[in-house]
A and B are shown apart, each in its own frame.
Chain A
Amino acid sequence: MDAVLQQARTRGANRVHRIVLRIGALAGVEPEALRFAFEVVTRDTLAAGSTLQLEAVPARAFCPVCAAEFDAGMDYVFSCPTCGQLSCDLRQGRELELAQIEMS
């Protein structure tokens, strides 16, 4: 929230209408918990009453043998569907990112 308000202030906004966060499937962030907390932390701020939009980022890992990315799934054993190689080279899926703010 601090990051959002800081961005809004440096851009001279009076109100934040919508916040878009990108959340990786393996980021360890519970969307439900985030939504629950959102209303409380935005109360009495520029972002009071704003919409929280969460974009899911699927987990993708990289296979060194095939030199290709594959969908890693959620089970933490990242095994290449083409050759079976195990990999821990996660290319996306751990991010927690402030993607967009709509403000006025």
Chain B
Amino acid sequence: MPFGIKVLRFVAPGILRANTLPAVEQPAPLVGANVAAVRETVDLRVPLLAKNDQIAAGNRANFRARKILALNLVSSPGAGKTTLLSRTLDEFGLTTKCAVVVGDLETDNDARRLARPHAPVAQITTGTACHLDAGMVAKSADSLDLTGVRVLFIENVGNLVCPAEFDLGEELRVVLLSTTEGEEKPLKYPPIFKTAHVVLLTKIDVADALGFDRALAAENIRRIAPQAKLIQLSARSGEGLAEWYALLSAHLFKS
């Protein structure tokens, strides 16, 4: 065993040091001949998962084992998540059993709007938290009878910032952007769009009335999220819904 004492003040290139916090310069430890410490530096490459990511990984494994397709729906407040899900339950949900977990700051309005005899719905009241986390979803999904359920929709809290950082264990992350929000939204909130598997451009029935430039919006989405499948739809007129249902069908786990 080498009796090596390494100099702790060593700063390798590329090291971030907070300027505001002075580096803690520790006095070299007292090392006399009789108090020599055996120090070793161990090289590790251990990926660290934040706690949320650990729970999310558990959720994902759980959903996959039960062959449930889980989708995390994220958007600004009012982009049309609940309206789209209501219609999806009434149409797609008649032949493919679906369940919903819906997050809301205060009220249970959305859960009541979504309640259907043929689709279990659970409400998560987040209080002050402006996003769902994996633990909330785990608890809530556990409270539902998921027998026979093939699709679990998770309606996140209306917010385009925090949900980007919180994996819920979903198979697909679906980001909704409504025509009322303007074409520039994806450029202003890149992280959430970067992590999207699917982007839904909603309320296209009013696009023309608003002078909304669909081609420009599509181009902005493509720039930020070239990986995402883009569907333009309206939960009101029904345009584009067949494409949405086809996407859901294509991602179902084989039963």
Contacts and interface: CB of A to CB of B under 8 A. Distances in A.
Interface of A: 3, 7, 11, 15, 17-18, 21, 23, 28, 31-32, 35-36, 49, 51, 53-56, 75-77, 86-88, 95-104
B46 interface: yes
A81 to B, nearest CB: 16
A103 B46 contact: no
5 contacts: A49-B24, A49-B26, A54-B16, A77-B190, A101-B42
Interface residues of B, number: 36
Contacts of B39: 17, 102-104
A3 B44 CA distance: 11
B40 A88 contact: no
Contacts of A102: 6, 39-42
A34 to B, nearest CB: 9
A100 B15 CA distance: 14
B123 to A, nearest CB: 28
Given A97-B46, A101-B42, A54 B15 contact: yes
Nearest to A8: B42
A76 B194 CA distance: 7
A98 B48 contact: yes
Given A99-B44, A103-B40, A55 B14 contact: yes
B45 interface: yes
A27 B105 CA distance: 27
Contact of B48 (A3, A15, A51): A3
Given A55-B14, A76-B191, A76-B224, 12 more contacts: A17-B8, A28-B165, A36-B21, A86-B223, A88-B227, A95-B47, A98-B44, A98-B45, A98-B47, A100-B42, A102-B42, A103-B39
B34 interface: no
Closest 7 CB pairs of A and B: A76-B190, A98-B46, A104-B39, A104-B37, A102-B41, A88-B227, A31-B16
B43 interface: yes
Contact of A55 (B12, B222, B224): B12
B147 interface: no
B78 interface: no
Contacts of A28: 165, 191
Contacts of A51: 8, 24, 26
Nearest to A96: B48
